[in-house]
Amino acid sequence: MAEKKDTATSQSDLQQDFSLKLPVNRMDGTPTGEEVSLDPRLFGLQRNDHVLYLAVKAELKNRRQGTRSTLTRSMVRGGGRKPFRQKGRGGARAGTTSSPIWRGGGVTFGPEPQYFRMKLSAKVRKLARKIALSVKAQSDSIRLVEDFDLKEPKTATIASMMKSFDASGKSALLLVDGCKPTVVKSCRNIPRLEVREAVNASAYDILRARRLIISRSAIDSLVGGLAGEK
């Protein structure tokens, strides 16, 4: 019981002492003069590898369709008639063309459709996203950008922004507030760059990115969705 109390105390102390402030930059990398204090309830939690492991494992398992399948000898069409007489040919006897040792026959012990779902409670999924954000914040991998939108898809604009944030050629995740179709279209031709709505980004999406770029309003969305504030 004492160990649990010490752990809870240390985590609360970490949340109180955590006061990381990040500047908000324009798309060209120049500062706007605004600084945002990251909420310690999202960006100041202690690392919990087991929670992250469960979240990543569940997402990867749930992505699997499990639809791979092969035909066994009973499923192969044909093979009802004996292909040739039993004796007199000098070769091995055969009773059906659907035999696994025949070309075009069935498959022995082949893969079959399988169910790969893994359930994870909403509480654990939410905690995993918070811890993933905390890991990125404490490793100085987060950059804030002012709110922007594009009138038409323009890959060069996003590529220039990535360069100004030192994210060119790196796996990066851009978190935006709401649905922005033109931004998504502008990013899809840039290798290793993904775009997610802040409220829909999973722990796996956050962890696999070396650079996390968050728009100013997306920070408020994260606080409202994960910290319980409106």
Please measure the distance between the N-terminal and C-terminal CA atoms of the chain and give it in whole angstroms: 35
- pLDDT, tens digit, 9 for 90 and up, residues 43-99: 989 999 999 999 999 999 999 999 999 999 989 988 888 988 999 988 899 999 999
Given the structure tokens 């798309």, which residue do they identify? 27
> Any idea where the domains of the chain sit in the sequence?
2-64+119-226, 65-115
- pLDDT, tens digit, 9 for 90 and up, residues 168-201: 889 999 999 988 999 999 999 999 999 999 999 9
Rg of the chain over CA atoms, in angstroms? Answer: 27
CATH class of the region 2-64+119-226 = alpha beta
Q: Report long-range pairs for 58-65 (Cβ below 8 Å, ≥24 apart).
A: 58/118, 58/119, 58/120, 58/125, 59/202, 59/203, 59/204, 60/204, 61/116, 61/117, 61/118, 62/116, 62/117, 62/118, 64/116, 65/116
pLDDT at 3 over 80: no
